[in-house]
Amino acid sequence: MLEQKVKYEGDCDKEFAKWVTSQTGGENLRHCIQCGICSATCPLSLYMDYTPRRLINMAREGFKKEVLGSFTIWLCASCYACRVECPKEIQVTDIMYLLKRRAIEEGVYPRRFPIPVLAREFGRMIFMFGRVNETLLVIDLFLRTNWFKFLGMTGLGMNLMRTGRMSLIPETIKNRAELRKVLDALDADEKSKREAVS
């Protein structure tokens, strides 16, 4: 079947464009001159479906579906190379974070793709123990995404065991109640704000 490959301006989601340019850090997306230094310095751009330069232009024009469904936002490794080179001082890394959060909210991120799963499990482990046990986190991640790949990790696991760098017992903080109160208070704050809006 033939598909429309080029979008008319009217096909874009202007609400999304408005939203992204009104967020903290998103205001100066309008200043982007499309010079492409972000894509040039990005060590991951050659694996991305849209380079950072292109993603920025698409985001501010309202290509909501393409931007939120892209691998680009998840491949960003937060190395901040683009951020320090950008002549317009656009905080590209934080823009990626903003888009990741929106993609999660809308439930449009690539399913079973390990990166969003890692982020979620990371948070869960902190809430449970206050600290993260790398070994348990990695095991959990592979079982949830691709348990077959887990078998390929046995060599590394043995090496870590041999050098005393692996532990299967989670470290916990003493005052977990305090930490949970802090995190719960933020959830409550978020909820009351959402209710006020609706």
Partner 1 sequence: MKKYLYFPGCSLKGSGKAYEESFLAVCKALGMDIRELEDWNCCGATAYMSVEETKSYALAGRNLAIAEREDLDVIAPCSACYLVLNKTQKALKENTEIRRKVVNALKAGGLDYKGTVKVRHPLDVLINDVGLEKISKLIKNPVKGLKLAPYYGCQIVRPYATFDDQHDPVTMDKLMKAAGAECVTWPLKTRCCGGSLTGTVPEVGLRLAYIILKEAKKRGAGAIVTLCPLCQFNLDGYQGKIASKYESVDMPVLYFTQVLGLAMGLPGSELGIKRGIISAEAVLAGGGLR
Residue 191 Cβ vs partner 1, minimum distance, rounded to whole Å: 13
CA gap 181, 108 in Å, rounded: 30
CA gap 61, 148 in Å, rounded: 40
With CB under 8 A as the contact rule, the residue among 30, 34, 47, 110 that binds partner 1 is 47
Residue 192 Cβ vs partner 1, minimum distance, rounded to whole Å: 11
Residue 186 Cβ vs partner 1, minimum distance, rounded to whole Å: 5
- The answer to whether 72 and 95 have CB atoms below 8 angstroms apart is no
Tokens of 127: 């809430």
Binding mask 52-71 for partner 1 (x = CB under 8 A): --------------------
Choose the binding region for partner 1 from 4-12, 26-34, 61-69, 88-96 (rule: CB under 8 A): 88-96
Q: What DSSP string describes 68-137?
A: HT-SHHHH-----HHHHH-TT---HHHHHHHHHHHHHHHT-SPTT-HHHHHHHHHHHHHHHHSS--HHHH
When asked if residue 192 is in the footprint of partner 1 (CB under 8 A), the reply is: no
Binding interface with partner 1 (CB under 8 A): 24, 43-44, 47, 75, 77-81, 83-84, 91, 93, 96-97, 100-101, 104, 114-116, 118-120, 122-123, 125-126, 130-135, 138, 141, 149, 152, 155-156, 159-160, 163-167, 171, 173-175, 178-179, 181-186, 189-190
